Amino acid sequence: MKAIRVHEFGEPEVMRLEEVSEPRPGAGQVLVQVHAVGVNPVETYIRAGAYAAAPPLPYTPGTDAGGVVAAVGPGVKRVAPGDRVYTSYTLSGSYAEKTLCLESQVHPLPPQVSFAQGAGVNVPYAAAYRALFQRAKATPGEVVLVHGASGGVGVAATQLGRAAGLTVIGTAGTDSGRRLAAEQGAHHVLDHYAPEHLQKIMELTENRGVDVILEMLANVNLGRDLEVLASGGRVVVIGSRGPVTIDPRLTIPREANILGMYIWGATDKEAMSLHAALGAGLANGTLKPAVGRELPLAEAARAHHEIMETKAFGKIILIP
């Protein structure tokens, strides 16, 4: 079978499509025929050698795929060959024609959800769900600012927030991104590059501020985020690409909380709970991953350039 292999850390071009032997599922393992692969920013950090938990070389990147169970090992009970699934992590990497998973890493994909959408579930929706409900403990009626609503996590957070009865303010850097945020359910849409967008948030909330901020670029925004937090507000740092200066005094009158979020920090119970919630949302149609671009698996390097260098518009998907 074909798979992307990385033999040295470096630029996107270190990823090459190669012929590798097909994995065979052992006890408790599931082999998935991959129909679509989800590309996430973290895979670029790992490939560049800039990530603390780097895998040993050589490796096949990726954790997220939509596909069909090809074979199961002894003892597997929850899925059978032919089942449509999405993956949440894999043992052998998802940038491949087939990927080996633990039974706990495959989840049912309802028939109305395409394989490309299935490939867009795991990292973005787990991050959005964990940030909103397991870290910020958002409750219906609260106001959430999705600071970066045009990408994978932002679209997921907008759909999850809307379905849970939150008022969603979403931001994006382009007209197409703002249209996407509105289509995904954001009640209000703003441009995060417009200097006055935070003032507009105060107007939209009648000067109360927002209860929760999901922050995709904390190194740019965290200092100013604190100015638009309501009393008891929570900022969840999802993405950050450098340091930032904040005025801690802003947290005092609001009794504000700044929370980190790490999807790999979820306990087994929390992971089970969030995938149960995502499965319900996919089945009832409230969660629909937005596929922005599809590229052939052989163009993984182009996908890594695009996810870091172009403006976001839903998910970038690779097709084996």
| Contact status: 201 vs ligand NAP (CB under 6 A) | no
Could you say which of 120, 152, 209, 281 contacts ligand NAP (CB under 6 A)? 152
| Min separation Cβ 144 and ligand NAP, Å | 14
Annotate each residue in 107-146 with x if it binds ligand NAP (CB under 6 A) or - if it does not, as one string.
----------------xx--x-------------------
Closer residue to ligand NAP (CB): 79 or 145: 145
Which stretches of 73-174 are DSSP H helices?
A: 115-119, 122-129, 152-163
Please provide residue 171's backbone torsions phi and psi, each rounded to the nearest 5 degrees.
Answer: -125, 155
| Contact status: 166 vs ligand NAP (CB under 6 A) | no
The first and second tokens of residue 21, run together, are 């032997």
What is the amino acid identity at position 49?
A: G
For residue 283, the Cα-to-chain-centroid distance in whole angstroms is 19
Closer residue to ligand NAP (CB): 84 or 178: 178
Distance CA 54, CA 56 (A): 7
Could you say which of 104, 174, 219, 273 contacts ligand NAP (CB under 6 A)? 174
| Other Cβ atoms closer than 10 A to 91 | 15
- Considering only residues 248-287, where is the footprint of ligand NAP by CB under 6 A? 261-263
Annotate each residue in 70-109 with x if it binds ligand NAP (CB under 6 A) or - if it does not, as one string.
----------------------------------------
| Contact status: 162 vs ligand NAP (CB under 6 A) | no
Q: Which residue is nearest to ligand NAP (CB)?
A: 151
The first and second tokens of residue 230, run together, are 């309501």
Closer residue to ligand NAP (CB): 35 or 147: 147
Could you say which of 71, 221, 228, 304 contacts ligand NAP (CB under 6 A)? 221
* 122-129 and 268-284 helices, crossing angle to 10°: 110
- Considering only residues 223-242, where is the footprint of ligand NAP by CB under 6 A? 238-239
Which stretches of the chain are DSSP H helices?
A: 41-47, 115-119, 122-129, 152-163, 175-183, 197-204, 218-225, 251-254, 268-284, 300-309
Listed in sequence order, the residues at least 6 apart from 19 whose beta carbon sits closer than 8 Å to its beta carbon are 1, 2
| Contact status: 66 vs ligand NAP (CB under 6 A) | no
| Contact status: 151 vs ligand NAP (CB under 6 A) | yes
Distance CA 1, CA 5 (A): 12
| Contact status: 47 vs ligand NAP (CB under 6 A) | no
User: Angle at the Cα of 10 (from 87 to 14), degrees rounded to 5?
Assistant: 70
Could you say which of 25, 177, 209, 281 contacts ligand NAP (CB under 6 A)? 177
Closer residue to ligand NAP (CB): 109 or 220: 220
* 152-163 and 175-183 helices, crossing angle to 10°: 30
Q: By CB under 6 A, name the binding residues for ligand NAP.
A: 40-42, 123-124, 127, 147-154, 171-174, 177, 192, 216-217, 220-221, 238-239, 261-263, 307, 311-312
